[in-house]
Protein backbone atom coordinates (compact mmCIF):
# COMPACT_ATOMS: atom_id res chain seq x y z
CA UNK A 1 0.00 0.00 0.00
CA UNK A 2 2.83 2.41 0.95
CA UNK A 3 4.65 1.62 -2.29
CA UNK A 4 1.48 2.30 -4.34
CA UNK A 5 1.06 5.62 -2.55
CA UNK A 6 4.63 6.59 -3.31
CA UNK A 7 4.10 5.80 -6.98
CA UNK A 8 0.99 8.00 -6.99
CA UNK A 9 2.91 10.83 -5.31
CA UNK A 10 5.53 10.67 -8.05
CA UNK A 11 2.88 10.56 -10.80
CA UNK A 12 0.96 13.46 -9.22
CA UNK A 13 4.13 15.55 -9.03
CA UNK A 14 4.82 14.86 -12.72
CA UNK A 15 1.19 15.79 -13.48
CA UNK A 16 1.64 19.13 -11.72
CA UNK A 17 4.76 19.72 -13.81
CA UNK A 18 2.56 19.14 -16.87
CA UNK A 19 -0.02 21.67 -15.70
CA UNK A 20 2.67 24.20 -14.83
CA UNK A 21 4.41 23.65 -18.17
CA UNK A 22 1.15 24.26 -20.08
CA UNK A 23 1.65 28.00 -19.56
CA UNK A 24 5.05 27.77 -21.21
CA UNK A 25 3.62 25.57 -23.99
CA UNK A 26 0.87 28.09 -24.76
CA UNK A 27 3.36 30.98 -24.81
CA UNK A 28 5.44 29.13 -27.41
CA UNK A 29 2.43 27.93 -29.42
CA UNK A 30 1.07 31.50 -29.66
CA UNK A 31 3.87 32.14 -32.16
CA UNK A 32 2.41 29.52 -34.51
CA UNK A 33 -1.38 29.33 -34.08
CA UNK A 34 -4.27 31.40 -32.72
CA UNK A 35 -6.29 30.55 -29.62
CA UNK A 36 -8.98 28.50 -31.40
CA UNK A 37 -6.51 26.52 -33.47
CA UNK A 38 -4.60 25.70 -30.29
CA UNK A 39 -7.82 24.59 -28.55
CA UNK A 40 -8.75 22.41 -31.53
CA UNK A 41 -5.36 20.68 -31.60
CA UNK A 42 -5.00 20.38 -27.82
CA UNK A 43 -8.42 18.94 -27.02
CA UNK A 44 -8.77 17.01 -30.27
CA UNK A 45 -5.59 15.07 -29.51
CA UNK A 46 -6.53 14.77 -25.82
CA UNK A 47 -9.99 13.39 -26.66
CA UNK A 48 -8.51 10.69 -28.87
CA UNK A 49 -5.91 9.74 -26.27
CA UNK A 50 -8.57 9.51 -23.56
CA UNK A 51 -10.35 6.63 -25.32
CA UNK A 52 -7.79 3.87 -24.59
CA UNK A 53 -7.43 5.14 -21.00
CA UNK A 54 -11.18 4.88 -20.36
CA UNK A 55 -11.24 1.43 -21.98
CA UNK A 56 -8.31 0.31 -19.80
CA UNK A 57 -10.02 1.65 -16.65
CA UNK A 58 -13.25 -0.11 -17.75
CA UNK A 59 -15.28 3.10 -17.67
CA UNK A 60 -18.64 3.11 -19.44
CA UNK A 61 -19.12 5.67 -22.23
CA UNK A 62 -22.87 5.82 -21.57
CA UNK A 63 -24.15 9.30 -20.81
CA UNK A 64 -27.66 10.64 -20.11
CA UNK A 65 -29.18 13.79 -21.66
CA UNK A 66 -28.69 15.96 -18.57
CA UNK A 67 -25.01 15.05 -18.30
CA UNK A 68 -24.57 15.65 -22.04
CA UNK A 69 -26.10 19.12 -21.59
CA UNK A 70 -23.76 19.82 -18.68
CA UNK A 71 -20.79 18.63 -20.74
CA UNK A 72 -21.82 21.00 -23.53
CA UNK A 73 -22.18 23.91 -21.09
CA UNK A 74 -18.79 23.04 -19.59
CA UNK A 75 -17.27 22.89 -23.08
CA UNK A 76 -18.54 26.39 -23.92
CA UNK A 77 -17.07 27.70 -20.66
CA UNK A 78 -13.84 25.82 -21.38
CA UNK A 79 -13.51 27.54 -24.76
CA UNK A 80 -13.95 30.96 -23.15
CA UNK A 81 -11.44 30.06 -20.42
CA UNK A 82 -8.88 28.81 -22.93
CA UNK A 83 -9.28 31.98 -25.01
CA UNK A 84 -8.21 34.19 -22.11
CA UNK A 85 -5.64 31.62 -20.92
CA UNK A 86 -4.07 31.83 -24.38
CA UNK A 87 -4.25 35.62 -24.78
CA UNK A 88 -2.93 36.23 -21.27
CA UNK A 89 0.06 33.97 -21.84
CA UNK A 90 0.66 35.38 -25.34
CA UNK A 91 0.72 39.05 -24.40
CA UNK A 92 1.75 38.72 -20.76
CA UNK A 93 4.09 36.66 -18.63
CA UNK A 94 3.49 32.90 -18.56
CA UNK A 95 4.99 32.56 -15.07
CA UNK A 96 2.78 35.27 -13.60
CA UNK A 97 -0.26 33.78 -15.33
CA UNK A 98 0.46 30.31 -13.97
CA UNK A 99 0.85 31.66 -10.44
CA UNK A 100 -1.95 34.21 -10.58
CA UNK A 101 -4.69 32.10 -12.17
CA UNK A 102 -3.87 28.85 -10.35
CA UNK A 103 -4.00 30.48 -6.91
CA UNK A 104 -6.93 32.81 -7.62
CA UNK A 105 -9.22 30.08 -9.04
CA UNK A 106 -9.99 28.34 -5.70
CA UNK A 107 -10.56 31.72 -4.02
CA UNK A 108 -13.03 32.75 -6.74
CA UNK A 109 -14.69 29.34 -6.53
CA UNK A 110 -15.19 29.82 -2.79
CA UNK A 111 -16.67 33.30 -3.35
CA UNK A 112 -19.07 32.08 -6.05
CA UNK A 113 -20.21 29.23 -3.82
CA UNK A 114 -20.81 31.71 -0.99
CA UNK A 115 -22.67 34.23 -3.16
CA UNK A 116 -24.88 31.91 -5.18
CA UNK A 117 -25.03 28.59 -3.34
CA UNK A 118 -25.29 29.66 0.29
CA UNK A 119 -21.90 28.51 1.48
CA UNK A 120 -21.31 29.97 4.95
CA UNK A 121 -18.36 32.30 5.54
CA UNK A 122 -16.69 32.00 8.93
CA UNK A 123 -14.35 34.51 10.57
CA UNK A 124 -11.44 32.27 9.52
CA UNK A 125 -12.66 32.46 5.92
CA UNK A 126 -12.80 36.26 6.07
CA UNK A 127 -9.20 36.33 7.29
CA UNK A 128 -8.19 33.93 4.51
CA UNK A 129 -9.94 36.08 1.88
CA UNK A 130 -8.14 39.20 3.07
CA UNK A 131 -4.84 37.29 3.02
CA UNK A 132 -5.62 36.02 -0.46
CA UNK A 133 -6.53 39.51 -1.69
CA UNK A 134 -3.28 40.87 -0.27
CA UNK A 135 -1.35 38.06 -1.98
CA UNK A 136 -3.04 38.76 -5.32
CA UNK A 137 -2.26 42.49 -5.08
CA UNK A 138 1.33 41.65 -4.25
CA UNK A 139 1.60 39.29 -7.24
CA UNK A 140 0.41 42.13 -9.48
CA UNK A 141 2.95 44.45 -7.88
CA UNK A 142 0.51 47.27 -7.10
CA UNK A 143 3.02 48.89 -4.74
CA UNK A 144 5.80 49.07 -7.31
CA UNK A 145 3.87 49.64 -10.56
CA UNK A 146 1.53 52.34 -11.76
CA UNK A 147 -2.19 51.81 -12.42
CA UNK A 148 -1.58 51.59 -16.19
CA UNK A 149 0.93 48.79 -15.71
CA UNK A 150 -1.29 46.85 -13.31
CA UNK A 151 -4.44 47.19 -15.42
CA UNK A 152 -2.85 45.89 -18.61
CA UNK A 153 -5.00 43.80 -20.91
CA UNK A 154 -3.07 40.60 -20.17
CA UNK A 155 -3.66 40.98 -16.44
CA UNK A 156 -7.35 41.41 -17.21
CA UNK A 157 -7.18 38.25 -19.34
CA UNK A 158 -5.78 36.41 -16.31
CA UNK A 159 -8.60 37.76 -14.12
CA UNK A 160 -11.23 36.63 -16.64
CA UNK A 161 -9.63 33.18 -16.83
CA UNK A 162 -9.65 32.90 -13.04
CA UNK A 163 -13.37 33.73 -13.02
CA UNK A 164 -14.32 31.34 -15.82
CA UNK A 165 -12.62 28.25 -14.39
CA UNK A 166 -14.72 28.26 -11.16
CA UNK A 167 -17.86 28.34 -13.33
CA UNK A 168 -16.51 25.35 -15.22
CA UNK A 169 -15.79 23.59 -11.91
CA UNK A 170 -19.29 24.25 -10.56
CA UNK A 171 -20.96 23.07 -13.78
CA UNK A 172 -18.82 19.92 -13.83
CA UNK A 173 -19.65 19.17 -10.18
CA UNK A 174 -23.33 18.84 -11.14
CA UNK A 175 -22.55 15.83 -13.33
CA UNK A 176 -22.91 13.10 -10.73
CA UNK A 177 -24.20 10.23 -12.88
CA UNK A 178 -20.95 9.46 -14.70
CA UNK A 179 -17.32 9.01 -13.69
CA UNK A 180 -15.36 12.30 -13.73
CA UNK A 181 -13.00 11.07 -16.44
CA UNK A 182 -15.93 10.13 -18.69
CA UNK A 183 -17.46 13.58 -18.21
CA UNK A 184 -14.11 15.21 -19.01
CA UNK A 185 -13.78 13.08 -22.16
CA UNK A 186 -17.15 14.33 -23.43
CA UNK A 187 -16.32 17.92 -22.45
CA UNK A 188 -13.05 17.75 -24.38
CA UNK A 189 -14.72 16.12 -27.40
CA UNK A 190 -17.51 18.70 -27.47
CA UNK A 191 -14.97 21.51 -27.02
CA UNK A 192 -13.15 20.21 -30.11
CA UNK A 193 -16.40 19.90 -32.10
CA UNK A 194 -17.62 23.41 -31.21
CA UNK A 195 -14.39 25.20 -32.12
CA UNK A 196 -14.22 23.12 -35.32
CA UNK A 197 -17.75 24.19 -36.30
CA UNK A 198 -17.63 27.88 -35.39
CA UNK A 199 -14.09 29.15 -34.99
CA UNK A 200 -11.51 27.17 -36.96
CA UNK A 201 -10.54 27.70 -40.58
CA UNK A 202 -9.07 24.34 -41.47
CA UNK A 203 -6.81 25.84 -44.09
CA UNK A 204 -4.41 26.45 -41.19
CA UNK A 205 -3.60 22.72 -41.23
CA UNK A 206 -1.93 23.16 -44.63
CA UNK A 207 0.41 25.81 -43.34
CA UNK A 208 0.82 24.71 -39.72
CA UNK A 209 4.45 24.45 -38.78
CA UNK A 210 6.20 21.11 -38.65
CA UNK A 211 9.08 22.56 -36.67
CA UNK A 212 10.19 20.33 -33.79
CA UNK A 213 9.53 23.16 -31.30
CA UNK A 214 5.88 23.43 -32.36
CA UNK A 215 5.31 19.66 -32.46
CA UNK A 216 6.98 19.17 -29.08
CA UNK A 217 4.89 21.86 -27.38
CA UNK A 218 1.56 20.76 -28.87
CA UNK A 219 2.34 17.16 -27.83
CA UNK A 220 3.29 18.28 -24.32
CA UNK A 221 0.15 20.36 -23.75
CA UNK A 222 -2.17 17.73 -25.27
CA UNK A 223 -0.76 14.55 -23.78
CA UNK A 224 1.29 15.55 -20.72
CA UNK A 225 -0.58 18.69 -19.63
CA UNK A 226 -4.09 17.42 -20.46
CA UNK A 227 -4.55 13.65 -20.83
CA UNK A 228 -1.87 12.42 -18.43
CA UNK A 229 -2.24 15.15 -15.78
CA UNK A 230 -6.04 15.02 -15.71
CA UNK A 231 -6.16 11.21 -15.61
CA UNK A 232 -3.61 10.94 -12.79
CA UNK A 233 -5.33 13.69 -10.80
CA UNK A 234 -8.79 12.12 -10.86
CA UNK A 235 -7.58 8.54 -10.43
CA UNK A 236 -5.54 9.88 -7.51
CA UNK A 237 -8.68 11.36 -5.96
CA UNK A 238 -10.38 7.97 -6.20
CA UNK A 239 -7.40 6.19 -4.64
CA UNK A 240 -6.11 8.70 -2.08
CA UNK A 241 -8.96 11.14 -1.42
CA UNK A 242 -9.62 14.76 -2.39
CA UNK A 243 -7.70 16.53 0.37
CA UNK A 244 -4.50 14.57 -0.08
CA UNK A 245 -4.47 15.04 -3.86
CA UNK A 246 -5.58 18.70 -3.73
CA UNK A 247 -2.43 19.63 -1.82
CA UNK A 248 -0.39 18.83 -4.93
CA UNK A 249 -2.12 21.69 -6.80
CA UNK A 250 0.03 24.08 -4.81
CA UNK A 251 3.06 22.88 -6.78
CA UNK A 252 1.63 24.16 -10.10
CA UNK A 253 2.38 27.89 -9.73
CA UNK A 254 5.96 27.20 -8.71
CA UNK A 255 6.50 24.88 -11.66
CA UNK A 256 4.94 27.52 -13.94
CA UNK A 257 7.28 30.18 -12.55
CA UNK A 258 10.38 27.96 -12.65
CA UNK A 259 9.78 26.58 -16.14
CA UNK A 260 8.98 30.06 -17.50
CA UNK A 261 12.27 31.35 -16.13
CA UNK A 262 14.14 28.31 -17.47
CA UNK A 263 12.72 28.09 -21.00
CA UNK A 264 11.38 31.58 -21.71
CA UNK A 265 13.93 33.63 -19.81
CA UNK A 266 11.19 35.39 -17.85
CA UNK A 267 12.24 37.28 -14.75
CA UNK A 268 9.80 36.75 -11.91
CA UNK A 269 10.03 39.35 -9.16
CA UNK A 270 10.21 38.41 -5.49
CA UNK A 271 6.80 40.03 -4.99
CA UNK A 272 5.23 37.38 -7.29
CA UNK A 273 6.72 34.51 -5.28
CA UNK A 274 5.70 36.04 -1.92
CA UNK A 275 2.22 36.80 -3.25
CA UNK A 276 1.90 33.22 -4.51
CA UNK A 277 2.84 31.81 -1.10
CA UNK A 278 0.30 34.10 0.64
CA UNK A 279 -2.53 33.06 -1.69
CA UNK A 280 -1.63 29.38 -1.26
CA UNK A 281 -1.91 29.81 2.52
CA UNK A 282 -5.27 31.54 2.00
CA UNK A 283 -6.55 28.72 -0.21
CA UNK A 284 -5.46 26.06 2.29
CA UNK A 285 -7.35 27.94 5.02
CA UNK A 286 -10.50 28.30 2.91
CA UNK A 287 -10.62 24.65 1.91
CA UNK A 288 -9.15 23.10 5.08
CA UNK A 289 -6.46 21.47 2.97
CA UNK A 290 -3.60 19.93 4.87
CA UNK A 291 -0.14 19.84 3.36
CA UNK A 292 -0.07 16.07 3.04
CA UNK A 293 3.19 16.13 1.07
CA UNK A 294 5.02 17.43 4.13
CA UNK A 295 3.25 14.91 6.35
CA UNK A 296 4.29 12.05 4.05
CA UNK A 297 7.94 13.11 4.17
CA UNK A 298 7.83 13.29 7.98
CA UNK A 299 6.17 9.88 8.22
CA UNK A 300 8.76 8.31 5.93
CA UNK A 301 11.56 9.69 8.09
CA UNK A 302 9.93 8.18 11.19
CA UNK A 303 9.71 4.80 9.46
CA UNK A 304 13.45 4.96 8.74
pLDDT in tens, 175-218: 889 999 999 999 999 999 999 999 999 988 888 878 899 999 99
Tell me how far apart the alpha carbons of residues 162 and 97 are, in angstroms, rounded to a whole number.
10
What confidence tens digit (pLDDT) does each residue in 8-24 have? 888 999 999 999 999 99
- Asked, for residue 53, whether it belongs to a domain, the answer is yes
Q: Among 75-84, 86-95, 176-185, 267-276, which is the least confidently predicted range? A: 267-276
Torsional sign, CA 180, 53, 226, 34:
negative
What pLDDT is attached to residue 121?
79
Question: Domain count of the chain?
Answer: 1
What is the reported pTM?
Answer: 0.85
Residue 9 counted as domain residue: no
**Residue 2 falls inside a structural domain:** no
Decide if 269 contacts 110 (C-beta within 8 A): no
- For residue 6, being part of any structural domain is answered with no
Helices (H), the chain: 2-29, 35-56, 65-91, 94-116, 123-140, 147-150, 153-173, 180-198, 204-207, 212-219, 229-240, 242-246, 252-264, 270-287, 292-303
Neighbours of 271 (CB within 10 A): 17
pLDDT score for 182:
95
Other C-beta atoms closer than 10 Å to the C-beta of 147 total: 7
Closest listed residue to residue 151, CA positions, set 135, 164, 165, 137 = 137
Is residue 162, in this structure, part of any structural domain at all? yes
Query: What gap in Å lies between CA 155 and CA 150, rounded to an integer?
Result: 7
Report the alpha-carbon distance of residue 214 to residue 208 in Å, rounded. Answer: 9
Residue 4 domain flag: no
Domain of 206 in residue numbering reads as 15-303
The pLDDT, as a whole number, for residue 293 is: 39
The answer as to whether 7 is a domain residue is no
Residue 213 lies in a domain: yes
Q: Model confidence over 126-145: pLDDT tens digits? A: 888 888 888 877 776 665 65
Amino acid 285: pLDDT: 79
Per residue in 31-77, pLDDT (tens digit) is: 999 999 999 999 999 999 999 999 999 999 999 999 999 999 999 99
Amino acid sequence: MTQNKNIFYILLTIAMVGWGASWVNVKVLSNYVNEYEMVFLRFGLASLSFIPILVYLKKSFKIDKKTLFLATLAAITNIAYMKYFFLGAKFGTAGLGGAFVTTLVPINTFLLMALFFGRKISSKDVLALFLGAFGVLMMLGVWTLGAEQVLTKYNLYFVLASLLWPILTIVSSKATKVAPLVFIFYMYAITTLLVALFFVDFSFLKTVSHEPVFLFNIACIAFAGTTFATSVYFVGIEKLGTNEVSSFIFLVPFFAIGLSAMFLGERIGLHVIIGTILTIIAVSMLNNIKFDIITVIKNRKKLK
